[in-house]
Amino acid sequence: MIAGIVAMSAFAVACVAGLGADLDASQILTRALICMGAGYVLGVALAWVAGRAVLDHAAGRRVARPVPEVKLPDEIAAQDAQEPRSPHNPDPGPVEEAQARAAA
């Protein structure tokens, strides 16, 4: 899409410049089509560079700020059922705290 916009802009600028230079229609259109082709090539290159910059920025942001793993209450309860409390892990989990608050 960027390449098309750049190409059409180059075509329009070349047409206006040709009209301003008082050239005949065949010269204006020939030069405008050449500018349109060059603009398309430059637009493709510009779009590739912009896309690459966005991907590099997103990859760096994912590394700098990873998304934390969040467990649902059902997953916590299932994990607690598989791993009973031990002297090394005496703290109640969030499910047990919620149940104690509801019972009180």
Tell me: pLDDT of 4 over 60.
Answer: yes
Residues 83 and 58 in one domain: no
Residues near 58 by beta carbon (within 8 Å), at least 6 away in sequence: none
Q: What is the pLDDT of residue 75?
A: 77
Which residues of 1-96 form beta strands (DSSP E)? Answer: none
pTM: 0.60
Residues 38 and 60 in one domain: yes
Residues 90 and 47 in one domain: no
Residues 58 and 79 in one domain: no
Residues 86 and 38 in one domain: no
Instruction: Please give the average per-residue pLDDT across 19-33, as a whole number.
Output: 96
Amino acid at residue number 51: G
Residues 80 and 59 in one domain: no
Rounded Cα gap, residues 15 and 34, in angstroms: 11
33: domain range?
A: 2-64
Residues 30 and 81 in one domain: no
Q: What phi, psi does 89 have (nearest 5°)?
A: -135, 65
Residues 47 and 19 in one domain: yes
Residue 102: pLDDT band by 50, 70, 90 thresholds? confident
Rounded Cα gap, residues 15 and 35, in angstroms: 10
Rounded Cα gap, residues 100 and 92, in angstroms: 10
Q: What is the pLDDT of residue 86?
A: 59
Question: In total, how many domains does the chain have?
Answer: 2
Q: What is the pLDDT of residue 20?
A: 95
